[in-house]
Amino acid sequence: MKIIRASEIGTYQFCQRAWWYQQQGVEPENKSELAWGSALHERHGHVVVISGCLQVIAYGSLLLAILTATIWIIQSFL
């Protein structure tokens, strides 16, 4: 029984002929464009990771600011 991978399903949904060619072992003619697209996706993945880290830092900074303001307000009334 053949295992069907998610990338095969994506290829089939995008273009059934491309999927068929892939199953027949036909090499794509646009290898440079495919390599460029892979590099673009890799860079996008890095941007997503960095933005997630920046979001965590932003929430941490906000929490620290709220905590500092709360402590300052409490100390000013004592």
Dist CA 53 CA 47 (whole Å): 10
Per-residue pLDDT of 15-31, as tens digits, reads 999 889 989 999 988 89
Q: Is the pLDDT of residue 36 over 90?
A: yes
Cα-Cα-Cα-Cα dihedral of 30, 45, 20, 33, to 10°? -10
The domain ranges of the chain are 6-77
User: Does the pLDDT of residue 7 top 90, yes or no?
Assistant: no
CB atoms within 10 A of CB 26: 10
- DSSP code for 29: S
Q: Are 22 and 4 in contact (CB under 8 A)?
A: no
